[in-house]
Structure 1
Amino acid sequence: MTELYQVTVVKYGTRQTVRSDVYLNYHLYDEPDGPIGMDYFFWVVRNAERTIVVDTGFSAAGGANRKRTTLIEPAAAFDSLGVDRAAGPAVVVTHAHYDHIGNLDLFPRSPLHIAAAEYDFWTGPYATRTLLHHSVEDDEIDHLRRASAEGRLRTFEHSVELAPGVRVLRIGGHTPGQSVVSVDTTDGVVLLASDAVHYYEELDRNMPFTQVANLIDMYDGFERLRAMRADHLVAGHDPDTLARFTPVGSGPLAGLAATIGEEC
């Protein structure tokens, strides 16, 4: 039987850059360059029965190494939401870039769910190549290895039902195992696109992000996401994201979080 959940979108970091820095081969669009913001999110899915964490944000070191601005420490944000980290809630790793797995050490008892293609790539022979390696921190990839050795890593090939009403699907493109999460809520189906769609414009105009493992898979991913016809799509880095949903208006996350669906 399907369950319903509430999704909380948390903005924990930000930066300012230019469009040619985020869209692949931007000069081919014959458009003027210009400023663009880039926000950093993680997501919490929960109801009365369970809590599921989707990605964990960048670490202090990972953010500092890339001069990112931290708006709230992820540990403080999880605590503000009442996430019991010691209880070992399930954690979905949509992909293994630094800004999505930087705080896995906050969840030392949690099962980690990741596409097999993602884990295999980052522990394989091409993970150290410059154009790919710049997006990861070696000690964070080692955390995935340790979780595997401890029996906490759960891999899947194409999709997995994590719980009634929560499905994880591998899309690829941005990384070999880039995944999205579909969640049933009281407001309909929410699709946490993570970096399968960094910006809404990316999907609307078929404009791939600058960091891509397989361009054809990325284009195909856009088509697959459209075909899912979710009621709400949550982009992975678009500064417009929070404005599309119900803002959290008080507490440490005021102005930094929004919810979709009612508490269940």
Structure 2
Amino acid sequence: MTGSPTHEPWEVYALKYTRNDKPRRMDVMLGEGGSTDPMPMDYFIWVLCRGSRTVLVDLGFHAQVAARRNRVLLRTPLEALATMDLHPANIDDIVITHLHFDHAGGIDQFPDTPIHLQASEMAFATGACMAMPAIGGFYEEDDVKELVRKLFRGQLTLHEGDDVLEPGLSVHWIGGHTGGTQVIRVWTRRGWLVLASDASHYFVNVLQRRPFMWTYNVGDHLLGFERLLALADSTDHLIPGHDPLVMEQYPPPCADLQGIVARLDADPLFSVHDRIPVQAGR
């Protein structure tokens, strides 16, 4: 799946809006012991640009949600966008990878922007599992309500598995983490890049085949790792959803945005293999 399209490549940026420095616990990843080594988690939204087109991947969460869930925002997602001189009116389309609170908040701040989501994720977010705190607790009722409003206004496209949004940009169902998690495959100047979101929270998840503990379907999650590797041109073309290494591996678009924005279509500053050994699938 490494063919070279003839159309123009996309620019891709990771925008960091907050961080969680919680300690690593024995239940963070399946298949490991009780390490208490620090394992901080960065929170991102992603921006894709080509010519006059701008696509936003995921939305982060509202300040009021941060307060209620005892999270500290470094900046709101809208403030993160503003660091690149982007505002809701500049966004042509939004792709939501899944509907957890830290990926699907703020839909109301984009009243006229079309949204793309997996049909299976919408069904999951309105199904019986939402009454179970261990699963539904990661969702915000208001986010789901906003999506229903989008649906009735004709502004929500529900995809059934893999789909091409436009040349060089496609969505792919992975599942596992939630009932309908999707990832984004995008053609860049350095080849096919995959925004994994929470299909792989950290590089170590996919490289060592160890899922994050909070997963709905472990089998789908493990199979999803193989799918991620097939979709990307290499492991250095995979972008996990929460790994602080992303901000180290890729340069900022300018010095003023160091630690806030990373340009993912630029050549990485080091290979992830320099930091994390790979464990082959079995």
TM-score (norm 2): 0.86
Higher strand proportion: 1
Map of 2:261 onto structure 1: 257
Q: Quick one: distance in 1 between partners of 2:123 and 2:116?
A: 13
Q: Counterparts of 1:30 and 1:95 in 2: how far apart (Å)?
A: 28
| Larger RCO, structure (CA 8 Å, separation 6 or more) | 1
Equivalent in the alignment of 2:170:
167
Distance in structure 2 (CA, Å) of the matches to 1:219 and 1:212: 10
Give the Å deviation of 1:257.
Answer: 0.8
**Cα 1:224–1:43 shift into 2, 3 Å:** same
Runs of 4+ with >3 A deviation: 248-251
Q: What is the SS of the residue equivalent to 1:29?
A: coil
Distance in structure 1 (CA, Å) of the matches to 2:254 and 2:70: 28
2:278 alignment counterpart: none
CA contact (8 A) 1:127 1:133 kept: yes
Instruction: Write the deviation string for residues 116-145 of structure 1: whole angstroms up to 9, x where unpaired.
Output: 000111112222211111111111111111
**Gap regions ≥5 residues in structure 1:** none
Shift of 1:88: 5.1
The answer on whether the counterparts of 2:174 and 2:182 sit within 8 Å (CA) in structure 1 is yes
The alpha-carbon deviation at position 87 of structure 1 amounts to: 5.0
After TM superposition, the score normalised by the length of structure 1 is: 0.92
Matched with 1:177 is: 180
Quote the residue 2:242 is aligned against.
237
* Deviation readout 1:46-67 (Å, 9 max, x if unpaired): 1113110000111112222222
> SS of the residue aligned with 1:167?
strand
Q: What do the CA deviations read for 1:48-94 (whole angstroms, capped 9, x no partner)?
A: 13110000111112222222221122112222323342255100010
Deviation at 1:36, TM superposition (A): 1.1
Tell me the distance in 1 between the aligned counterparts of 2:26 and 2:183.
24
Q: Choose from 2, 8, 18 the match for 2:7.
A: 2
- Pair 1:45 & 2:65 matched: no
- Alignment partner, residue 96 of structure 1: 99
Q: Give 2:64's match in structure 1, choosing from 57, 61, 65.
A: 61
* Count of paired positions: 259
CA distance in 1, matches of 2:27, 2:10: 32
Percent identity of paired positions between Structure 1 and Structure 2 = 35
In structure 2, C-alpha distance between the alignment counterparts of 1:21 and 1:63, rounded to whole Å: 25
- Read off the aligned partner of 1:148 and give its amino acid letter: L
Q: Tell whether the 8 Å contact from 1:21 to 1:210 is kept in structure 2 after alignment.
A: no
- What does residue 21 of structure 2 align with? 16
